[in-house]
Structure 1
């Protein structure tokens, strides 16, 4: 169970080259819950996950896991507690699905230790949970984008960490598989208490599946809290520069975001049906 694990950032500043992406971020993730990070492109969502998983060193501040700085923790030791599925993982050429998923067990292997029945069971469970068992003998680079994404998720599950960070885990998946993956992660959270932190672009899926939401904007934190507290018309306006209506989702009871564009609204339909607009469609008469 992950109730004993705490992951937080303290005055964290991150960037690339001369560009600062996140500045002075103080954040504590809810242990044993599902947290979803949302925000516009290039606001620092993926950057934050990379720093939390030790892949990107802070310019200032620190990431702390159970009282220890993540960037001072040996990589293999950290990987036994915290797993990351990055946005665009690189697949080793020619590797089979079974071998790739099996790599999720690497942090649990000691020097000169043998593969055990526990490792077999973890890999089999991960393959079954992601419906990729029938793909296990195929080369990963021969799979479709959606199949490949499910295989990478299987590898993350096989790692059996108490904290799991996922950067856009529904990428390349059709809507039915998106729901399947998010349901799977919810099952993992509820059955094992796994703390799950993920980046999602779909605001309505984020609101439906998150226990807590984090909204990033302009290099920092705009809001953090429950879905009802964070997913508001003001948040959508500030974070995305877009007008919207937020209503109750009739399926989940959570917030449901209805974007407002220039077209396909009742106001636009009314304006398009005015007499002057309609007259423009009449044929000219001699």
Structure 2
């Protein structure tokens, strides 16, 4: 197992939040922290014309990386800084091969919406290790302000038809065990009203036929997790509605929301459409995206 946490950093406020999350994670696990700062794509021009400009970019990038490394070391974490040429998403995806987890902020510098957001979406879709995306509203010091509820202070993972075979479940259980938090398994089935029959009694029967198998599956997953992780506090919830809405709701108080990079059933196509965008863009807690299967 890799023993290095990688964080994508650009000096922005949002990447500062990601750095803070990565530092806490590295300290908790005793892992080394690797701070990766991208200098952008190489410029194919005469160095005599743009040499001073490129040198200034490199100096600024080195300063940004150095500040992040110093912050990590002050917190007692072994850290190294790496400067890379290339687009940020490509650099980080390549670096995910040797990482235990890769951490990103939701947006990039100068408040340009979507810059780091597009990077986080691309990296989450293609990285070979779990990717944690830290939202701009995340403040670990404001746990009490986030309120109480069934998800408060817990790791929440979305369960789909893969059940215990979804790597997201195992990753969520490991994280909860490492940090001494509870684990909540969430499965969502569609509302019967989304396919109305015209009969309230028949709609209710259809709904119960969907709920029953869902409860059985999530209970099987919980039993398997308890066997693999004795002593771990495991709870289950089965909801009706839209998977994205339920996970976003859980993320208002949860410590971490975990999803697979591609799902089945209610979570099918998670990084390819509206569900993924809603979870990654709207969740108020960090979101961990775990590779589910090989890339096409």
- More relative contact order in 1 or in 2 (CA 8 Å, sep 6+)? 1
* Greater gyration radius: 1
| TM-score normalised by structure 1 residue count | 0.30
Give the structure with the larger strand fraction: 1
TM-score (normalised: structure 2): 0.29
